[in-house]
Amino acid sequence: MNEVCKGKNAKEIKKRLVEDDPFSTSSREYRSLVAHWLVADFVTGFSPKALQVFARLMVSDALSSQLKREVLFWKTCERDAVARELTLSAIYTAYHAGVPSIPEAVLYDVVREKAGLAETTVKRCVGGFLAIAANVGFLSRADATVKLNFFRPKLNAVAAILYFLFDSELPPAQIPRAPDFKFLLLDEAAVLSSLSDLRSAGMISFASAGNVVRLEPKIPFEVLPDVFAE
């Protein structure tokens, strides 16, 4: 993200990841694979304006690591089909059913069914997902069991997702029901509560009556990282 802030484009960033080897990976083939994934998900996966906002959020020293982890996990789920399916089909469903834990094997089954990957790849995908999700904080891993922890994302993480959805031009009536919030385990009631809190904080205009929703930003998208830092 520092490269984005320096004005580098996707091609230049990918070249640096492959040629300069910032991750100290000996295999050029593997570096190319990682570079393609990172650029596709976290560079070209945004509009130009949204990319600058995302980059500034990620590199800001004034913002908490937890906020960054939550926003990064949202984007990972938005772009990665396996992470998205694991979160929505397994974790979110179990969490809101009040299930305290689930067997890790359930996650393997989700990946096998949805992705059709080789067994070694299935285990690697699930292991990587669990490591990232545990870092966010809504689960922990013990032996072959996944414990689901009580979790409520930071309000600024909800605000960030909301403003990225504003940038995507999703109709206001669809935003409270967008799956994006489920990636951070928020159901519709929790989303509406968060929207009310953001309205009180002066960040949005929000009113809802039945299926009619009025939802608008009250600050320019590009200053979002500065607002969060205050």
pLDDT of residue 21: 58
74 and 57 belong to one structural domain: no
Spatial CB neighbours of 28, under 8 Å, sequence gap ≥ 6: 18
> Under DSSP, is residue 175 helix (H, G, I), strand (E, B) or coil?
helix
Number of domains forming the structure of the chain: 3
HSE-up of residue 32 (Cα within 13 Å, Cβ side): 3
Decide which of 115, 132, 148 is a domain's last residue. 148
Decide which of 42, 63, 84 is a domain's last residue. 63
The string of pLDDT tens digits covering residues 58-86 is 889 999 999 999 999 999 999 888 999 99
Looking at per-residue pLDDT, the higher value among 45 and 210 belongs to 210
44 and 94 belong to one structural domain: no
HSE-up of residue 83 (Cα within 13 Å, Cβ side): 19
21 and 75 belong to one structural domain: no
49 and 74 belong to one structural domain: no
pTM of the predicted model as reported, rounded to 2 decimal places: 0.84
pLDDT of residue 11: 58
Domain that holds residue 79: 70-148
125 and 190 belong to one structural domain: no
* Two structure tokens written together for 37: 């994934």
The string of pLDDT tens digits covering residues 122-145 is 888 899 999 999 999 999 998 899
Q: Is the pLDDT of residue 34 over 80?
A: no
Q: Tokens 């669990």 belong to which residue? A: 130
